[in-house]
Amino acid sequence: MVHQAQGQMVQEVAASAGGLPTLPTRYVLREKDRPSPAGGVAAPELAFPTVDVQRLADPGDLEEADKLRSALQSWGLFKVTGHGMPVALLDGVRDAGVEFFHLPLEEKLRHANRDDAGEFQPEGYGIDRVDTDEQVLDWCDRLYLTVQPEEERRTQFWPARPPSLGRLLHEYALGSEKVAKRVLMAMGRLLGFGEEFFLDHVGEKGGTYARFTYYPPCPCPDLVYGLKPHTDNSVVTVLLLDPNVGGLQVLLREGAGGEGDGRWVDVPVLARDELLLVVGEEMEIMSNAVFRAPTHRVVTSGRERMTLVLFYQPEPHKDLQPAEELVGEDRPAMYRKLKAKTFGDGFWDAFALGERTIDFLNIKVDDRVESGSMPEAAAA
């Protein structure tokens, strides 16, 4: 049965809440969970990791490979340059996303995230799944679409307005896929394997899923999450952020930027031609925790913000497990095997509860190895 809160769009709540001293209780966090009014620790621009994927494509460029290694072991995410996509394309798909969210509600609801029985399902326009009366809701609306494989696109959820959105998303997804594949190839090389190592584990018809997320202006940003702390359901995730408004924060691990463990750090506002790449939980499993998925969240402000995220996932029939080449006596398997589809389905239950999918599905089996450390042979 669909929860009654499932049909309440945050954009509509924001439009009516602008003059109120507080917010509806469904969005208000417990005091201990509230983000600091001062925001996270600022990440100095020079300290935030950047990787040029054009240089990364050259196996002989050891300097850029070292940058990737450092970014993966410390932050778990990094700024992407050298991707080759024109700024006009990035601006265009961003603008099309904003234009969609500015449409009248009845127009957007033609693509509502409901199945034929009226139940919630991931694709389409709406809010994330609501399960209980106690669940604190995030301050965002979203449009979630299957992009690849093309034959699995559900066109009823692809907006007809603005008319450019579908074409631009398709073109942008092709360019973003090249970025993801270059990084996966380089990650294989970092571990001393061939460039196809992780690509083979993903499969030729891995899934690509797009999420346009709209964060309306919030009158009480210190009381809510734009998006709750989470890790990504992906091998890697490519983000096209708002070029004018920040809000993404990452829980920094020990040794990253010298800030220590357990502190929320602001991801800087990126230039219009820059992307962000984030390691997902499925890569954490496949790499046997050599590469870890960072926990991140979104905080709000008094300004609207829109982002586009592409999640790259393995073929659903693939076994998701630590690669046997990364398992040995000194590094036992840290996760049990399951199907990629089982993991992907479990994500929605985990996300509604604010848990990592790895923890929700109880697939971690060994904590004896320090996660995030490189195997000796690969680190040499």
**Each residue's pLDDT tens digit, 21-71:** 678 999 999 999 999 766 677 666 558 999 999 999 999 999 999 999 999
pTM, whole model, 2 decimals?
0.93
CB 186 within 8 A of CB 65: yes
Half-sphere exposure of 203 (CA within 13 A, CB side): 15
Backbone angles phi, psi at 192, to 5 degrees: 85, 15
Q: Give the span between the Cα atoms of 215 and 213, in whole angstroms.
A: 7
Per residue in 216-244, pLDDT tens? 999 999 999 999 999 999 999 999 999 99
The whole-number pLDDT of residue 368 equals 57
Please list, in sequence order, all residues whose beta carbon lies within 8 angstroms of the beta carbon of residue 365, skipping any fewer than 6 positions away: 333, 334, 335, 336
Q: What is the pLDDT of residue 149?
A: 96
Domains annotated for the chain, with CATH where assigned, are 42-379 (2.60.120.330)
Interacting residues of 289 by C-beta distance below 8 A, sequence separation 6+: 334, 335, 369, 371, 372
| pLDDT score of 258 | 44
Q: How far is CA 6 from CA 24, 121, 138, in A?
A: 15, 11, 12
Q: Which two tokens stand for residue 310?
A: 């592409």
Where the chain has pLDDT below 50, the residues are 257-260, 377, 379-380
> What's the length of the chain?
380
| pLDDT value of position 261 | 57
pLDDT at 350: 95
**pLDDT of amino acid 37:** 64
- For the chain, how long is the longest CA-to-CA vector? 62
Q: Are 264 and 250 in contact (CB under 8 A)?
A: yes
Q: Which two tokens stand for residue 181?
A: 């594949």
